[in-house]
Structure 1
Amino acid sequence: MNFLLKTPAFGEFANSHEFGKNGKMPSEEVRTAEQVAAWFARNGITVTSWARENGFDPKIVYALLSGRTRGRHGKSHAAAVALGMKSKADFTTNKEHLPLDQ
C-alpha cells in the first residue's frame, strides 16, 4: 500500500468538517497531535506504516504524537513538518541566505 500523503502533509481529509472546506486544511494552519492521531484512526492507517512509508522511524512519530518531543531539530522536525504539526522553514540552511540581525 502507498501511504504517501499529499502536500501539505495529508492534503485531503475525507469526511472531516474540522479541517475546513472540502476536507482540506489551509497550509498555514498547524495540526495538533490529537488531530493527527484522529486522522490516522479515521483513515485506518497505523502510525508505524505511515512512518515507514514516509521514511521516518516510527519511534519518532510516536514521540511527536505523545508530546515526548516537539520536533525542533533534525528527523523529528522533518516528521513534524510531514505530519502538518509544524510549518515548513521559511529560509534555507545556507548561511549566505540566513536573515541577519542588523
Structure 2
Amino acid sequence: MIKSIKQVRDDFSQSGISIAEWARINNFSPDLVYRILKNNKVPLRGESHRIAVKLGIKEQKYMD
C-alpha cells in the first residue's frame, strides 16, 4: 500500500525513531530525506526515488 507523505511523517512521530536516524540506518542523506518529506511532490528518479520507495510513498517499478 502506498502511503502519503503525511502518513509517513505520522509513522515517524509514533515510532520513536527520528527521520535522521532512519536515514543513517538506510544509508541515505538525512538532509535529502527531510527535503522529500517537506515537499509535496513524489520524486521521479535517482536517490530521491529510492528513498521514496523505501519510505513507502512510491511503488517500485521494475523494467523488463
Matched, 1:52 2:24: yes
CA deviation map 1:21-77 (0-9, x unaligned): xxxxxxxx2111110011011010100000010011011111111116532110000
Name whichever structure is richer in helix by fraction: 2
The alignment partner of 1:88 has SS state of coil
RMSD value, Cα: 1.4
Matched, 1:79 2:37: no
Greater Rg over alpha carbons, structure? 1
What is the match of residue 38 of structure 1? 10
Identity level (%): 34
Distance 2:26 2:41 in 1: 19
What is the match of residue 11 of structure 1? none
**Can you give the 5+ residue segments of structure 1 that lack an aligned partner in the other structure?**
1-28, 92-96, 98-102
What is the match of residue 33 of structure 2? 61
TM-score w.r.t. structure 2 length?
0.90
**Can you give the 5+ residue segments of structure 2 that lack an aligned partner in the other structure?**
none
TM-score w.r.t. structure 1 length?
0.58
Deviation at 1:85, TM superposition (A): 0.5
Is contact 1:33-1:85 (8 Å) kept? yes
